């Protein structure tokens, strides 16, 4: 039976991609749902049933898979195998041959993963199972095509539905309106959703996410961590004090697996750095922070508004050379250039003063070149690295790398004015990186800090180069959001602050206690059990389009083929935008909702 979106709004019908087939499936689904309205409610109507769909939440690193109607995924695994190599990242090679080769490898890996999902994790027959693919809004289209091709051609699944991960996360907390921030491995993406319609044009993203945290953590540990090699003999361990054995951290020790383990088991996010530093801000914002990797333009100033690192750069001038650890001199890492090191030193001084976390010891495998001792080496992780490593996510870089709070606020700025209050009071934070203890309370703090009125500048703000001109107005991008200040509420904030408004109080921390990392999967399971789910592509559509691809031109032109495949696969980036400025709210193409709710006329922002 066809269990295409029970709610017949189906994105397909509006996307004008193929007006014929979706209409047919839409009508069929409607009648099916109506004939048995309780179909979805009774799960145990069949013991052998295969109507539970397979939910696949495929990330670049971690995949979560399971059956719909269940509260937790059946299996979670690293897609890249034991060495945890991400399947894809943000860059693609420019060279055509290299790109083709990389795509071939990716396809092979995806095929391995998808086959193992059905054969190893779920032990089910792919030919009998419909699939809901939890898709990230910025998942590259070629990867989406690839996944669909493998599912249809290699595994021969009957249908694949695509559902936006942000929307699914929102459903998992029982809502259809909210501002969802997904802090994953490669990117953090903020997407406002109103009445189950993702407002894709207002999406904002930043590469400050798990991968950046990993590299930052590695840099911090190389510079400030301590490594004790294994003692050369068992008796030597007792004789030589640890301080004499301590060395710098060899790079080989910090494998990806070790850093990921530190991230998962040792790191947390401390409270905001407090206003005590505010007196030092804006004094010398330019010197070192602009030296790091910021363009020496006015973005430096904007950065200094939110970045504590730049603000505190003056501390680095009078810091003692070594008080961080028992290392007598700070090491010069092989990879970091000196500018980066100076920046990290400045960070260290600042963060050390703001951390009370304990120092931890961890057993690590010694590098192969030093494998002379007995047993494992010891890595000493300073407490402030554990607590403040994630600060990198809350400090904006340049304009392309806004902090997490800035991403949320930028997205909010794009949203029509009369939706802002609703969205600001229902922020949902999901994704694996958000699993860090203290992450969500800290994000709330950062949001308030960014919107709070700026400090009066401590220096005369007349331009030094043009003293005749009036002083520049202070850079204050979020002034228009300031009235929303009491309404900011994160739905899944585990420790919400005392609410100042009834709205914030009713929302903050009221989400069900699903873990942020699995929320999208839970939402997918929910839509699967409600017999909805996103836009569905079934086998017949795929096969007919595929046959057209094959027959159409014998010369097997790749570009033509890709274009043909695109006809089949729905994606929000493929929906034609109206001419001029896209006003997404009045645009029915953006409905990918499983629940076509009311709100017949969504007011367009003034």
Partner 1 sequence: MPPTVDYHCPCLSRTTVPPPPHLPSSSHSFHALHTLFFCEECDAVRCNRCVSVEVSGYYCPNCLFEVPSASVRAEKNRCARNCFMCPNCRNTLSVVPSDPPDPGDGRLTIPISTIGEPPFFLYCNHCRWDSAEVGITFEKPTGLAAQLQKFEDSAPDSLEFERLKEHFEPVIRASSLSSSTSTAPAAHPSSAAHSHRRTNSITAAASAALARDIPGVSKYNPLARSGRGGSSKDKTANRDEMPEYRSRLDISSASSLGTGGGDADVDSMRHLENVSEVANLEQRWVNSWATSLQTADLKPLRIPLHSKRSKRCPACAHILIKPEQKAQSVRYKIKLVAANYLPAITAALPHQQEAANPDAVKRTLGKSTTVAADDDRATAGMHAGKTYPFHLALTNPLYDPIQVRLTVQRVHAPAPASGRASPEKARRPPFAVSLPSASFPIAAFAEAWEYEDDEDDDMFGLDDDDEFGIAGRVAGREKDTRGKIKTVGVLEKKANVTVVGGEVVIGKEARGNVKFNMLVSYTYRSDDPTPSESNDAEGTVSKAAASKPPETKTFAFYTVVDLGPIIPREEPRVESDF
Cα-based torsion angle of the residue sequence 21, 23, 26, 31 in order, rounded to the nearest 10 degrees: -110
Size of the site for partner 1 (CB under 8 A): 127
Contact positions with partner 1 (CB under 8 A) in 36-95: 37, 40-41, 47-49, 62, 64, 70-76, 95
CA distances from 282 to 6, 306, 395 (A): 56, 11, 15
Q: Is 517 in the site for partner 1 (CB under 8 A)?
A: yes
Q: Is 8 in the site for partner 1 (CB under 8 A)?
A: yes
Stretch that binds partner 1, among 166-174, 235-243, 293-301, 468-476 (CB under 8 A): 166-174
d(CA 245, CA 187): 40
If DSSP codes are grouped into helix, strand and coil, which group holds residue 368? helix
DSSP label at 117? I
String marking each residue 520-549 x if it binds partner 1 according to CB under 8 A? -xx--xx--xx-x-----------------
d(CA 493, CA 478): 22
Compute the Cα dihedral for 532, 536, 539, 544 and give only its sign.
Answer: positive
Beta carbons of 448 and 273 less than 8 angstroms apart? no
Q: Is 146 in the site for partner 1 (CB under 8 A)?
A: no
Q: Calculate helix-pair angle for 141-149, 96-116, nearest 10 degrees.
A: 50
Q: Is 367 in the site for partner 1 (CB under 8 A)?
A: no
Out of 45, 127, 482, 574, point to the residue binding partner 1 (CB under 8 A): 127
Please, which residues bridge with residue 378 across strands? 228, 363
Q: Which two tokens stand for residue 52?
A: 């539970």
Q: Regarding beta strands 54-58 and 62-67, do their DSSP bridges make them parallel or antiparallel, or are they unpaired?
A: antiparallel
Q: Is 353 in the site for partner 1 (CB under 8 A)?
A: no
Question: For residue 31, how many C-alpha atoms fall within 13 Å in the half-sphere facing its CB?
Answer: 7
Q: Is 596 in the site for partner 1 (CB under 8 A)?
A: yes
Q: Is 503 in the site for partner 1 (CB under 8 A)?
A: yes
In the complex, minimum distance from the CB of residue 413 to partner 1, in angstroms, rounded to a whole number: 16
Q: Which two tokens stand for residue 526?
A: 């929910």
Out of 177, 277, 284, 314, point to the residue binding partner 1 (CB under 8 A): 177
Q: Is 594 in the site for partner 1 (CB under 8 A)?
A: yes
Q: Is 553 in the site for partner 1 (CB under 8 A)?
A: no
Contact positions with partner 1 (CB under 8 A) in 405-444: 418-419, 421-422, 434-441
If DSSP codes are grouped into helix, strand and coil, which group holds residue 6? coil
Q: Is 250 in the site for partner 1 (CB under 8 A)?
A: no
Question: For residue 276, how many C-alpha atoms fall within 13 Å in the half-sphere facing its CB?
Answer: 8
Out of 252, 261, 400, 563, point to the residue binding partner 1 (CB under 8 A): 261
Give the nearer residue to partner 1 in terms of CB position, either 356 or 456.
356
Stretch that binds partner 1, among 4-12, 216-224, 318-326, 566-574 (CB under 8 A): 4-12
Q: Is 118 in the site for partner 1 (CB under 8 A)?
A: yes
Contact positions with partner 1 (CB under 8 A) in 469-498: 483, 492-496
If DSSP codes are grouped into helix, strand and coil, which group holds residue 173? coil
Out of 125, 293, 400, 553, point to the residue binding partner 1 (CB under 8 A): 125
């Amino acid at each position: 039976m066809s269990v295409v979106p029970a709610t017949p709004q189906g994105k397909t019908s509006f996307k004008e991609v193929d007006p014929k087939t979706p209409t047919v499936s839409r009508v069929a689904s409607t009648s099916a749902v109506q004939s048995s309205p309780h179909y979805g409610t009774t799960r145990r109507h069949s013991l052998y049933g295969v109507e539970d769909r397979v939910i696949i939440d495929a990330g670049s690193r971690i995949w979560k898979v399971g059956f719909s109607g269940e509260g937790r995924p059946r299996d979670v695994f690293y897609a890249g195998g034991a060495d945890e190599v991400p399947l894809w990242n943000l860059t693609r090679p420019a060279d055509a041959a290299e790109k083709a080769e990389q795509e071939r490898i990716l396809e092979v890996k995806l095929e391995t993963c998808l086959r193992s999902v059905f054969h190893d994790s779920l032990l089910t027959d792919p030919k009998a199972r419909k699939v809901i693919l939890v898709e990230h809004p910025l998942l590259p289209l070629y990867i989406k095509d690839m996944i669909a091709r493998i599912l249809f051609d290699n595994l021969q699944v009957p249908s694949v539905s695509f559902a936006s991960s942000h929307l699914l996360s929102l459903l998992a907390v029982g809502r259809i309106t909210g501002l969802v921030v997904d802090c994953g491995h490669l990117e953090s993406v903020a997407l406002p959703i109103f009445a189950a319609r993702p407002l894709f044009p207002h999406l904002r993203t930043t590469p400050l996410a798990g991968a950046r945290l990993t590299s930052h953590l590695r840099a911090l540990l190389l510079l400030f961590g301590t490594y004790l090699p294994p003692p050369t003999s068992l008796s030597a361990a007792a004789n030589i004090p640890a301080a004499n054995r301590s060395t710098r951290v060899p790079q080989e020790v910090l494998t990806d697996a070790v850093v990921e383990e530190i991230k998962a088991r040792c790191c947390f996010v401390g409270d905001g750095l407090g206003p005590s530093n505010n007196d030092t801000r804006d004094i010398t914002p330019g010197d070192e922070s602009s030296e790091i990797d910021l363009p020496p333009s006015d973005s430096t100033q904007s950065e200094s508004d939110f970045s504590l690192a730049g603000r505190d750069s003056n501390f680095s001038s009078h810091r003692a050379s070594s008080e961080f650890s028992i290392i007598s001199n700070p090491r010069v890492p092989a990879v970091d250039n000196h500018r980066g090191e100076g920046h990290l030193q400045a960070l260290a001084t600042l963060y050390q003063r703001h951390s009370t976390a304990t120092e931890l010891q961890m057993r690590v495998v010694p590098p192969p070149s030093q494998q002379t001792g007995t047993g494992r080496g010891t890595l000493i992780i300073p407490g402030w690295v554990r607590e403040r490593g994630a600060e990198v996510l809350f400090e904006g870089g340049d304009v392309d790398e806004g902090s997490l709070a800035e991403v949320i606020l930028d997205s909010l700025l794009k949203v029509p004015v009369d939706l802002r209050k609703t969205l600001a009071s229902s922020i949902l934070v999901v994704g694996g990186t958000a699993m860090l203890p203290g992450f969500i309370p800290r994000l709330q703090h950062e949001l308030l800090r960014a919107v709070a009125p700026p400090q009066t500048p401590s220096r005369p703000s007349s331009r030094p180069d043009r003293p005749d001109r009036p002083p520049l107005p202070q850079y204050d991008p979020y002034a228009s959001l300031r009235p929303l200040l009491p309404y900011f509420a994160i739905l899944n904030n585990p420790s919400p602050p005392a609410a100042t408004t009834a709205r914030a109080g009713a929302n903050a921390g009221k989400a069900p206690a699903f873990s942020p990392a699995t929320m999208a999967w839970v939402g997918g399971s929910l839509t699967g059990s409600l017999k909805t789910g996103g836009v569905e592509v079934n086998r017949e559509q795929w096969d007919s389009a595929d046959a057209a691809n094959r027959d159409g031109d014998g010369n097997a032109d790749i570009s033509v083929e890709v274009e043909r495949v695109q006809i089949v696969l729905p994606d929000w980036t493929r929906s034609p935008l109206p001419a001029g400025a896209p006003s997404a709210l009045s645009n029915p193409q953006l409905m990918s909702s499983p629940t076509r709710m009311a709100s017949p006329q969504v007011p367009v922002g003034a």
